A = this chain, B = another copy of it.
Amino acid sequence: MHAGRIPSNASVSTAVVMLTIRAQKLQLLLVRPDPDTVTQQWILPGARIVDDEDLDESAARGLREQTGIAGIYLEQLYTFRRARSVPRMITVAYFALAPSARLQRDAVATRELHWFDLDGLPALHGDDEAIVTMAHERLAAKLDYSTIAFQFMPETFTLTELQSVYETILREPLDKRNFRKRMHALRRIEDTGETRRNGSHRPARLYRSRYPDRVEFIK
């Protein structure tokens, strides 16, 4: 008995649930299955862990190398053991959020990648389905007690767009006046002074996030 933890060898990788919102839908970025493999299942981007790299770095690197996406919000989610499937594989899952505009700039439209509606996913590899479900749950929970929603917003945005982000994640409509009251009370957005003309109706004020890189707990 005694004597502390003795390390073992196991296969460890990070996996990233990359989410964005486009056309009022949560979208997930998946990597196309290798045509040579038997199981033709899409997989989450990720990386094996290499020397002297911490877990956050590994997840960021996996995402960058496989998708070109970098510099966005990443949060560790949970660590899974692929019990039966892949032998002795441990997956440290992360989720990543970004505004869709930013992703187009990073040109993520290769033959090997595809965005899927979160509720129209193909068959996924191993634990990936459970990972995606947990990411969505965590995200929805965090809306209530953090400023995480701003991670989906571009530089400037309208309050209607912000509300739409909340509604998309929560899958329920919100009251416009109460939503705006809440957002102003948060004191996390500021008026840019600009407006945006959109159609044959009154233009919308544009706001910007005060602390775009911080995700803070609220209340």
List residues of chain A with CB under 8 Å of any chain B CB.
1-15, 31-34, 43, 46-55, 62, 65-66, 76, 78-81, 83, 86, 88-92, 112, 125
Contacts and interface: CB of A to CB of B under 8 A. Distances in A.
Contacts of A48: 5-8
Contacts of A55: 79-81, 90
A12 B12 contact: yes
A153 B52 CA distance: 43
Contacts of A14: 5
Nearest to A34: B3
Given A7-B48, A10-B12, 12 more contacts: A1-B66, A4-B34, A5-B47, A5-B62, A7-B86, A7-B88, A8-B11, A8-B12, A53-B81, A54-B81, A55-B90, A76-B78
Count copies of this chain in the complex. 2
Contacts of A43: 4-5
Q: Which residue among A15, A49, A80 has the maximum number of chain B CB atoms within 10 Å of its CB?
A: A49
Given A54-B81, A83-B54, A112-B2, A8 B49 contact: yes
Nearest to A36: B3
A147 to B, nearest CB: 16
Contacts of A15: 5
A31 B2 contact: yes
Given A7-B13, A43-B5, A79 B81 contact: no
A7 B89 contact: yes
Contacts of A10: 9-10, 12, 49
Nearest to A33: B4
Nearest to A9: B9
Contacts of A6: 13, 48
A85 to B, nearest CB: 12
A70 to B, nearest CB: 14
8 contacts: A1-B66, A1-B112, A4-B31, A5-B14, A7-B88, A8-B12, A55-B80, A76-B78
